[in-house]
Amino acid sequence: MKIVIGNDHAAVDMKFKIKEYIESMGHEVINVGTDDYSSCDYPDIAYAACEKIKNKEVDLGVLICGTGVGMSLTANKVKGIRACVCSETYSARLCREHNDANVLCFGERVIGIETAKELVSAFLNATFEGGKHKNRVDKILSIEEGTYKK
Ligand code: RB5
């Protein structure tokens, strides 16, 4: 798969390690994050990454900031993006299987690198189950489109 990775100044070290880890899994990684520690704005990075997903240039995204929260808040404003902040593997797997999440977010200030690798592995190796879960994801999309009906 093609994976876009993005990070702000709070997650430079973790970004490099996770990029290498995803590549070691055989995926191609496109880095839209910052490579240095000067302060920058996470919405710029999250938006750049989500545009690539929206335009189908990549399959999935991984966004890392201090907490993962700013990245996820921004990503979820982009149409078609379902971003989840995770700090344990059950949610990282289920957000793909049940919610068809296309962006995984986490925080370098919150979790360690080994947990981060496990999250990424759970997320990238899981597949959307469809069926009743598709109906629910379709409802999320309809809210986005303004066509929601219970
Ligand atoms: C940067 O200091 C920090 O606010 C950012 O990385 C992130 O945690 C925001 O959600």
Active site residue 98: yes
**Ligand 1 touching residue 43 (CB < 6 A):** no
Query: Per the residue annotation, which of 9, 27, 98, 133 is the catalytic one?
Result: 98
Separation of CA 134 and ligand 1 centre (Å): 32
**pLDDT, mean of residues 30-58:** 98
**pLDDT, mean of residues 128-148:** 97
Judge whether 78 and 51 are in contact, CB under 8 Å. Answer: yes
Which CATH code for domain 2-145? 3.40.1400.10
Atom index in ligand 1 nearest the CA of residue 73 equals 10
Q: Helix or strand or coil: residue 140?
A: helix
Question: Which of 44, 37, 25, 31 is CA-nearest to residue 5?
Answer: 31
Report the percentage of the chain scoring pLDDT > 70.
Answer: 100
Query: What's the pLDDT tens digit per position in 73-115?
Result: 999 999 999 999 999 999 999 999 999 999 999 999 999 999 9
Atom index in ligand 1 nearest the CA of residue 8 equals 6
Active site residue 86: no
Residues 6+ positions from 22 with CB-CB distance below 8 Å: 3, 5, 29, 62, 120, 124
Q: CA 4, 8, 13: angle at the middle one, nearest 5?
A: 85
Global pTM exceeds 0.75: yes
Instruction: Show the tokens assigned to 41.
Output: 């704005």
